Amino acid sequence: MFEEIIRCPTSALLFGVIVGLLVLRFINSSFSLRERRAPPGPRPLPLFGNLFQVDLKRLDQSLFNLSEKYGPVFQVFFGPKKVVVLAGYRTVKQALVNHADEFGNREISPVFYDFTKGHGILFSNGEPWKEMRRFALTTLRDFGMGRKISEEIIIEECHYLTEEFEQFEEKAFNNTKAIHYAASNVISALMFGKRFEYKDLVFQAMVERDNETIHLTGSASLQIYNICPWLGPLLKNWRDMIKNVEDGKADATKIIKNLKETLDPEICRCFVDAFLIRKKHLEDSKVLNLHYHDENLLYTVANLFAAGTDTTATTLKWCLLYMAKFPHVQERVQEELSRVVGSRQVRTEDRKNLPYTDAVIHESQRLANIVPMALPHAISKDVTFQGYFIKEGTTVFPLLTSVLYDETEWENPYSFSPSHFLDSEGKFIRRDAFMPFSAGRRACLGESLARTEIFLFFTSLLQHFRFTPPPGVSEDQLDLTPVVGVTLAPTPQNLCAFRRH
């Protein structure tokens, strides 16, 4: 029978076509399987995944260690949930910048959904995120983010912070609260058009609540909650976090309500006013308004207030701790400040003439590594990246620890070395692998404001004070072990601030 078929020319041709198609399909299938290969990673256990192979109390370091075995793109399982980890400067940059669209979504885990219900800027996606980010950037720039107006707000706050430090009369004290209040007041001036007194109890509660929530969110128990959300009510950290979120919403709602009641559409005092004026304009024009509603206002303000406070304040605390830890660096910074600026107020434009000081700030940010895993991303559509197939919706951790400590990019990645940012002539140099604000579509939108704040607060404090360990504590005894949350903060410890004459 078979022989009769192949003797017929038409049948033979048809048979050849079928065989050819089958061969092509086999080749294509084999190629597709190679194309769709998953990233490598440790073998997961049923139900638990790789939970026993990582330390949830210092997850970034565990993942960094795994990257040395499995390479710059690998996967781990948190319970049944797959996460792809990106390690090293080149890989993180390639993903977040060169493949910005595919890696540009935010992973909205249960704990992040609890914060904002998908509204605001930090934990939203799609058109709502695009519109709110665009509005926030435009509005903050209108209010001088990174320009002269915001510089004056920061300089005014520098004076209040200096006065606060002076009240301790050179005795050892914990600078955490004062620094957080100062950073909060800068974002408060932009958000609400006002600053708060450091002794204002409502303001203190707002700042301390946000600080605690950021720490709780990075705790091991809330990482377990992200895997098993039904556990939430059983976890004290989750209950504390939810109470903080609700109390924070109540305080922000009161401030927004007061601004609504005193709104003059002809005079825009702050970010909240700008939002309310835009909302009213859309309503008056009968334009369909999908984004300018009370929930987006509340959660956008909450996002900016918390993010604008914590990262700046935490960086500044590390800067001062490093100055007390490395007094020879502090002396050189102060010598440069005295020589270039003298006793007048430092301005943003002085930065270009203060290369060593600028290098010290950058090195403090690099070594402190305060947002070690950025905020999680999610894949917006199927992508083949570095030969590995990553499915739409997969959670991605851009491991900033591996960027800021990349041994192929930094000469001494684990040491405090301002020379990382200086050339042979002592001039400041930019480094591409300096990525503390992340990169791509989800890079920190307040980067220019944060950079200005850190520079002006740090230089103003170093003009006025010499920072030392408390009596009986040597520089070597100062603890550089971080307190782990979403951000890495210095271990609370006292310093002395001696007035410079």
Q: What is the DSSP string of 170-193?
A: T--B--HHHHHHHHHHHHHHHHHS
Residue 163 has pLDDT above 70, yes or no: yes
3-state secondary structure of 293: coil
Residue 257 has pLDDT above 80, yes or no: yes
pLDDT at 285: 87
Nearest 5°: the CA angle 501, 154, 463 is: 15
* Average pLDDT in the chain: 90
Residue 12 has pLDDT above 70, yes or no: no
Q: How far is CA 110 from the centre of its chain?
A: 18
Residue 18 has pLDDT above 70, yes or no: no
* Residue 16 pLDDT class (50, 70, 90 cuts): very low
Contact 206/195 with Cβ under 8 angstroms? no
* Amino acid in position 320: L
pLDDT at 145: 61
Q: How far is CA 455 from the centre of its chain?
A: 18
Q: How many CB atoms lie within 10 A of CB 118?
A: 17
**Alpha carbon distance, N-terminus to C-terminus of the chain:** 107
Task: Note the maximum CA span of the chain.
Answer: 108
Residue 350 has pLDDT above 90, yes or no: yes
pLDDT at 249: 92
Q: Per-domain residue ranges for the chain? A: 1-35, 36-499
pLDDT at 485: 85
* Residue 150 pLDDT class (50, 70, 90 cuts): confident
Average pLDDT over residues 169-198: 94
pLDDT at 140: 86
* Residue 34 pLDDT class (50, 70, 90 cuts): very low
Contact 160/185 with Cβ under 8 angstroms? yes
* Residue 6 pLDDT class (50, 70, 90 cuts): very low
Residue 491 has pLDDT above 70, yes or no: yes
Superfamily covering domain 36-499: Cytochrome P450 (1.10.630.10)
Residue 304 has pLDDT above 50, yes or no: yes
DSSP annotation of 489: E
pLDDT at 148: 66
Q: Give start and end residues of each alpha helix (H) in 291-405.
A: 294-325, 327-340, 355-368, 400-404
Q: Which two tokens stand for residue 416?
A: 């405090």
* Residue 428 pLDDT class (50, 70, 90 cuts): very high
Residue 306 has pLDDT above 90, yes or no: no
Residue 27 has pLDDT above 50, yes or no: no
* Residue 212 pLDDT class (50, 70, 90 cuts): very high
Contact 326/319 with Cβ under 8 angstroms? no
* Residue 108 pLDDT class (50, 70, 90 cuts): very high
Average pLDDT over residues 411-424: 96
pLDDT at 305: 87
- Per-residue burial over 320-355, b if 16 or more Cβ lie within 10 Å, else e, is bbbbbbbeebbeebbebbeeebeeeebebebbeebb
CA distance linking residue 210 with residue 487, whole number of Å: 12
